Structure 1
């Protein structure tokens, strides 16, 4: 995924699968690459993938450093588990990305 001139990942980036046909693996890979570049998490796992009309709807479970623990300056392995909703259009562009509140 390329970055804009501001250094942030571009939300609307088109990718054409090599086979010309979009697979579930293509969708999953696009979402994980976006999350890893945008958030730089410790780990990412797609927990839901669903096609509604012409858009792909995904939920990603992401483990990130705990902002609270980091702010306290503690050395621990405590991680925050966050869930993000991602919507990907038919041409594999990220159409929407949001953190789901717990």
Structure 2
């Protein structure tokens, strides 16, 4: 099973591409609380097709959203020949939280 649920704030302006299949990408900021300390993780989010169109139309920087999706991993070789592993969350469903402001 590959399922992830996460909530957070849209941290970057969504990048939308309609060449071929519609695609939308952005970073989601998620606060992590450990005792009295707080840190923030940033996660690359991706949406495809009609979902990408909805994301592009409705989400803005600062909006709180709840996401259900799956974890995707890919790799590439950098200039020095080292393998770099990357992760993103492919959105299957999203909903809005509180309004930003």
Specify which structure has the bigger relative contact order, considering alpha-carbon pairs within 8 angstroms and separated by 6 or more residues.
2
| Same fold per superposition (TM over 0.5) | no
Q: Could you tell me the TM-score, scaled by structure 1's length?
A: 0.39
Q: Could you tell me the TM-score, scaled by structure 2's length?
A: 0.40
